[in-house]
Each structure stands twice: as structure tokens, then as C-alpha cells.
Structure 1
Amino acid sequence: MRIVVDARTILNPRGGEAAGVGHYTSAILRHIAKIAPHNAEFIFFVRDIAGADNIEQLEFRNMRVRVCASRVPLFSSHFVFARQLMRERADVVFFPSGQIPLGFSGHSVITIHDLAIYKNPKWFPDSAFGRWFSAKIVVPLSISRATRIICVSESTKVDLLSIFGSRAKG
């Protein structure tokens, strides 16, 4: 089985990235490394060499690390990265940050951490194109396209079902 992981959000204390999703990504990958079947092949996509170092410390049996090409943030994240993922011919791709690139098609697992952008929109700047793009396009499409969805809490699951209903099929 070939499993690809979007590890671009992995905890990188040296680079200043210590947000909740970074901690989650690091923690869940540590646990997956302990229980992964011997025949599983893992391919991790990271932002930079520091991310690659963090992955290598996890001690997966059969793994490769790829640095993600990212030149133009929005375009690269959704189309260049998607193309890189598709080239790997994965059985499944895990997106711990909860967002599937728009150009990706295939089996996927996403994690939904919270839906604050919908529950408390005042917390996010009105003028930000990124917020609109994420809330109106990326998140809804990710939820409807995911093969499986992991919710980090029962509260998040309730929010997911109340906001997205049957579109949250995973």
C-alpha cells in the first residue's frame, strides 16, 4: 500500500511553526509510524529541508521524503502540488490540515480541526481573499471530495454535520 502524506504543516520549532495543526501532524505521524504495516510505503511532502529532518526522526520503515515545489503560493498549493501528488500514484493521500488541493483527485483522508471560519466569521478579516476562497471553495470541496474525514472532537463532528450535512460523507 502506498500512502502519501501532506506533511507541509509538520511542527517545525526551528522555523517558528508551532501552531496546533503542526503539533497534530507531528503527533499523529508518530503514532502512525508505530502501527504502520510492514508492507506500507510512505511518501511525505514537506515544505523544506527542516520538515524533511522532522519526518526522518519519526522512523518509518519504508519512506521517502519530497520537498514540495512552491513558487506561487495559491497556484502552487492547488495545482503544482496536486500534480506532484498524482505522480506518486498513491492508494490514499492524508491531508492533516483538512484541505485537499483543487487539482487533486483520488482517495483521500482529511482532518477537520474546527470550523471557526463558519461559526465565528468575525474572527477573520472581511477583506481577506484567502478567507473567502477557503470558506467558499476549498473547505466545502475538500469535505465533499474526501474519502474519509477525521474530526478532532465530537464538537467538531457536530459542527461539520450541522454546517455541511450530507456533503460530509467521509
Structure 2
Amino acid sequence: MSWRRFLGRLGSIPTPEGRSRAAATAPIRVALDTRALNHEDATGVGRYVRALLTAFREGHGVAVTTYGERTPRLLGPQVMTPLRMRRDRAQLIHGPANSLPLLFVGLPGVVTIHDLAIYAHPEWFPGDQWFATKVVVPRSVHQARMIICPSEATKAATMRLFGVEAARCRVIPHGVETEFALPASPSVRAEVQTRYALPDRYVLQVGTVQPRKNYITTLRALARIPAPERVPLIVVGGFGWKYGPVVDAVRDLELTGSVRFVGYAGMPDLPALYQMAQAVLFPSLDEGFGLPVLEAFAAGTPVIASNAGAIPEVAGNAALLTAPEDDEALAANLRRLLGDRELRDRQVAAGRARAATYTWSASAAAHHAVYESVISA
């Protein structure tokens, strides 16, 4: 379903009719920035926004007015958005993608800061983001009544970079969609295998091909494994900033027959892609959360990840963790996981248990609590 049809069905999201009158109070009217859904291949922030909208539709006492989906790129968020929010009598505005409108809108604001890696490592990102990093994000952080962070790591970075007091930051972890835990049917598996030309056995890495996702270390680890026992790597994600060195490394490491880039994959294919993989690799150099780790856990696929950023928070003891650029350790862990059935079974069980503690319903309820604290202040 396209995001336009999704938002059309959503409209202004009411409190469910089935609630008892004793429990039902007037829903909090929230203006939510949905520009992250402007791309059909929504990843990261777009997945977060979509999941929140779905959870709010199912309950949690929040009535959402969406904005940003059809407004002009420059003037929309700054001029048309405040007018629309006044018309819809919103009580607060939530910027779920690191920003709030720069112009005063007469409403208290909540902003979600997903990660701030660009401040420590600008070389990982395109160079045209100076206005966002120098103006939009700092102003949004200081303008917001409350700041939502998906991890303690991001909260700590926000406080350190912008001098924000801890009381204004709330850590609300993301959830994972229930579809990842539901076993894909044999017919769905066959369709996905055919659509992506998947081998019978493969390891998976999910994420845009860009420096921060650290595909170079994955490739070096793969090259360390003798060809006869090497399991092919399937890369799910589009080509992003500075993807060239990754493509070159495939050639230089003589991995052309062992690596396939299949591009973006969304629902309903993604759960099957996880479930059919022998392992999921996630050696990112930094993450504000690390949603693919949770998705793999829910799908029953063991994970080897880096110990960078928020990944240890999310993974707990359910993943095998290595230093981000230690390709030797990554290769060793992959060989262990593929060759030790007992280890694999333990990791799968631990991952499923870990994923069960992260739900979008709980996340939405925590968002509601933040909204309530803001309008009650």
C-alpha cells in the first residue's frame, strides 16, 4: 500500500469506539510530520512514523493530524503547516525526524532525535546537510518541550552536544512489527526466493549501502572464509552515499560470485528474507538504535553485530558482538554460528525472547505519556 493510500485511510485517527466510557478521555490532538513517508521505499525514520500511525490508530488516546505529505518542499513545513495546525486545533506538534518547523507555530513541540552520528563523523554523510546540522536540529532541540530518543546512547549524545538537561529527554525504544515473527508460508518463501533469485543458503545484511553501515568489514570477513565453505551474502538496501568503494571491494576481494545486491525490499517480503537467512550481519560503525537487529531476532535468525553506538543496548546478550572494524572476529563468529547448531539454537531463542520485549504498542503508549506531560505542563 502506498503512503498516500495509507494516510488516506488513516485520516484523523480517532480513539477506538470499543473503549469503555470510564476509561475514555478526549484524545490528545497531535500534529505529526509525515514527510518521512514521502518515499515509497520508506526505511528508518519512515518505518518509525508508519508504525506509530498504525499503533495510534489502534488506540492509545491520540488523534493525529498528519502534515507534510503534499506541501511544497520549502514553504510547506514553515508556512502552510502552522496554518493547517491551527485549523485542526492541534494541541502539540511532533517532529519525528530530528526537526520541528523553524517558524513559531504557537504550539508546544516534541521532537524525536534518532541519532547524531553526523556531528562526530560528517565524512559518513553527504556534504549538503549543513543547514540541518547547524540550524534546524539545534533549534529544534532547544525549541522542543520534550525530546524523544530511541536509546540511551542517543540521549547521552543529545545532552552532550546541545547541553540539554536529562529531564527533557525520554528514551522510548522502537518496536518490531509482528509480521517478522509470523512464519512465512511455503508459497511466500518460494515467491520471495524467486523474486530475488536467492540461493538455498545465504547470510543477510540489511541497510543502505553507505559508509556508516560498514559493508567493507563484512566483505573482508567474507573473504577470510575459504570459498568452499563460504555462504553467499545478500545485501538488502539501495545504493547510497559513497557506495562506490563497496562495489570496488567486491571486485578486489574476488567476491563477485559470493555477493548480490538486491536493492530495497519492504513488506511483505522483508520478514521472509530474514527468516530464510542463515544469519544476519550488522557491523555498523554507529547506530542510534539498530532496527534490523530486532527484526532478525523476531524472525528467528541469529545476529552478528558490532558493539558500536546503541547496538549493545538493543541486542543485549542475544547477538554475537564484535568491534566494528574487526573483520577477523566477524569471520570467526560467522564460521562458529554456521557450524555450531547448539550455539545457533541458543542465539535464536535469546533473540526471540529479546524481540518480544520491544513492541510498537508499548512505544505508542510511552509517546502518549510524553504528549500528556507536555500539554499538562
TM-score higher than 0.5: yes
Q: Kindly tell me: are residues 124 and 9 of structure 1, through their superposed partners in 2, closer, same or farther at Cα, counting changes over 3 Å?
A: same
Distance of 2:92 and 2:77 partners within structure 1: 18
Query: Which consecutive unaligned segments of at least 5 residues does structure 2 have?
Result: 1-27, 170-377
Greater C-alpha Rg:
2
Distance of 2:165 and 2:119 partners within structure 1: 15
What do residues 54-111 of structure 1 show as CA deviations (whole Å, max 9, x unaligned)?
xxxxxxxxxxxxxx321xx223332333332333331112221121011243112111
Distance of 1:122 and 1:100 partners within structure 2: 25
Q: Kindly tell me: are residues 82 and 163 of structure 1, through their superposed partners in 2, closer, same or farther at Cα, counting changes over 3 Å?
A: same
Q: In structure 2, which of residues 123, 130, 133 is the aligned counterpart of residue 132 of structure 1? A: 130
Match of 2:100 in 1: 100
Q: Kindly tell me: are residues 76 and 43 of structure 1, through their superposed partners in 2, closer, same or farther at Cα, counting changes over 3 Å?
A: closer
User: Could you tell me the TM-score, scaled by structure 2's length?
Assistant: 0.34
Structure 1 residue 46: deviation in Å? 4.9
Identity %: 36
Query: Which consecutive unaligned segments of at least 5 residues does structure 1 have?
Result: 48-67
Distance of 1:92 and 1:162 partners within structure 2: 26
Structure 1 residue 112: deviation in Å? 0.7
SS in 2 for 1:9: helix
What do residues 23-82 of structure 1 show as CA deviations (whole Å, max 9, x unaligned)?
111112222333322xx53322252xxxxxxxxxxxxxxxxxxxx321xx2233323333
Distance of 1:86 and 1:137 partners within structure 2: 25
| Aligned-partner residue type, residue 110 of structure 1 | V
Distance of 2:83 and 2:124 partners within structure 1: 33
Aligned 8 A contact 1:3 1:42 in 2: yes
Match of 1:69 in 2: 71
Match of 2:30 in 1: 3
Aligned 8 A contact 1:86 1:104 in 2: no
Match of 1:27 in 2: 51
- Once the two structures are superposed, the pairs formed by residues 1-170 of structure 1 within 5 Å of their partners are 1-10=28-37, 15-37=39-61, 40-47=62-69, 68-70=70-72, 73-105=73-105, 106-126=107-127, 128=128, 131-166=129-164, 169-170=168-169
Structure 1 residue 157: deviation in Å? 0.5
Distance of 1:77 and 1:45 partners within structure 2: 8
Aligned 8 A contact 2:36 2:42 in 1: no
Distance of 1:149 and 1:90 partners within structure 2: 19
What do residues 118-137 of structure 1 show as CA deviations (whole Å, max 9, x unaligned)?
121112334x2xx1110111
**Aligned pairs, how many?**
140
| Aligned-partner residue type, residue 139 of structure 1 | V
Which gives a bigger RCO, structure 1 or 2 (Cα 8 Å, sep 6+)?
1
Q: Kindly tell me: are residues 111 and 92 of structure 1, through their superposed partners in 2, closer, same or farther at Cα, counting changes over 3 Å?
A: same
User: Could you tell me the TM-score, scaled by structure 1's length?
Assistant: 0.71
Q: Kindly tell me: are residues 43 and 76 of structure 1, through their superposed partners in 2, closer, same or farther at Cα, counting changes over 3 Å?
A: closer
Structure 1 residue 167: deviation in Å? 7.0
Q: Kindly tell me: are residues 75 and 44 of structure 1, through their superposed partners in 2, closer, same or farther at Cα, counting changes over 3 Å?
A: closer
Distance of 1:7 and 1:76 partners within structure 2: 12
